[in-house]
Amino acid sequence: MTNYYWIVAQHSGKVIEVEGGSMNSCAKIIQYRKKSADDPSVDTQLWFFNGGLITNKKSGLVFDVYQEKIQNGTQIIQHGNNYEPTAHQEWDYNHEDNTITLRSNRNFVLDVKQKRMIWFPSSYRIGHQKFTLQKWNDTSGVENVGRLVTNIMADNKFLPKLLQNLLEILNDDEYYDVTIEVGNDPYAKIFRAHMVILNYRSPCLRGILSSNKKKNDGTLTHISLSDILPNILPETFEIILR
């Protein structure tokens, strides 16, 4: 999965984007107010770092020095790349001083003049030469749900609460959608459960549920395990359920 970033100018709070959202080579790179993450046109402000290349999400074109002029005040543009290293298209982001330098000549850094992105010698105008990378989170589709779950699971402090919530579901008296009768009279016991959880917890239960599809009339699905697994005890099934 590609990570996209806003490149934020620290002195202004504005972000780097392609002027006018252009898809064309030689379009100017400028600074502009930051758009919201779900703005349909936000792609023109998002960049990903691929080796030394800084590539725009919308156009697929990369940071370039106009006419390859490695000199003071040269305009920065977007341009195509043939996936071969070029002296005027490779940059490094320095996490220590928050500058973006030309890899082939580290004496030159990205700078802001009015709205335009240009090159100047490092420390020429310190305030205009510092940038922060802010990660963009795609808020659309299943991919985002998967990313959210991954982030929660990666943060250990959420796991105890998550496990507690799952156990509470077992005692839920309101939102269950299947009842399962286990054992034989007079020791039979009815368990309330959730089909989606059972489906992923046990291949055996998945097979049983597939032949007992949820009805569309709002009535609960009821399964009698004594007819299918007559030797299983309620105590054993409760352990499986948990």
The partner residues of 135 in beta bridges, in order of sequence, read 5
Residues 7-29 have pLDDT tens digits of 999 888 999 999 999 999 999 99
Report if pTM > 0.75.
Answer: no
| CA 81/CA 87 separation, integer angstroms | 12
Question: 20 — alpha (psi -120 to 50), left (phi > 0) or beta?
Answer: left
Coil vs helix vs strand at 58: coil
| CA 27/CA 100 separation, integer angstroms | 20
Q: Assign domain 156-241 one CATH number from 2.170.260.10, 3.30.565.10, 3.30.710.10, 3.40.50.2300.
A: 3.30.710.10
Asked whether the beta carbons of 100 and 119 are under 8 A apart, the reply is no
* Token output for 75: 């305009």
* Token output for 2: 């590609």
Residues 124-157 have pLDDT tens digits of 446 688 899 999 875 554 455 555 556 655 555 6
Mean pLDDT of the chain: 79
Residues 203-220 have pLDDT tens digits of 777 777 777 766 666 677
**For residue 56, pLDDT beyond 80:** yes
Extents of the domains making up the chain: 5-137, 156-241
Exposed / middle / buried, residue 199 (Cβ in 10 Å: 0-12, 13-18, 19+): middle
Q: What is the pLDDT of residue 164?
A: 78
Asked whether the beta carbons of 131 and 47 are under 8 A apart, the reply is no
Q: What is the mean pLDDT of residues 27-45?
A: 92
Closest by CA to 75, choosing from 110, 34, 24, is 110
Coil vs helix vs strand at 156: helix
Task: Name the CATH topology of 5-137.
Answer: Trefoil (Acidic Fibroblast Growth Factor, subunit A) (2.80.10)
| CA 136/CA 146 separation, integer angstroms | 16
Residues 152-205 have pLDDT tens digits of 555 556 667 777 777 777 777 777 888 888 888 777 888 888 888 877 777 777
In angstroms, the Cα distances linking 165 to 25, 37, 170, 172, 196 are: 53, 31, 9, 10, 15
Q: What is the pLDDT of residue 185?
A: 79
**For residue 37, pLDDT beyond 70:** yes
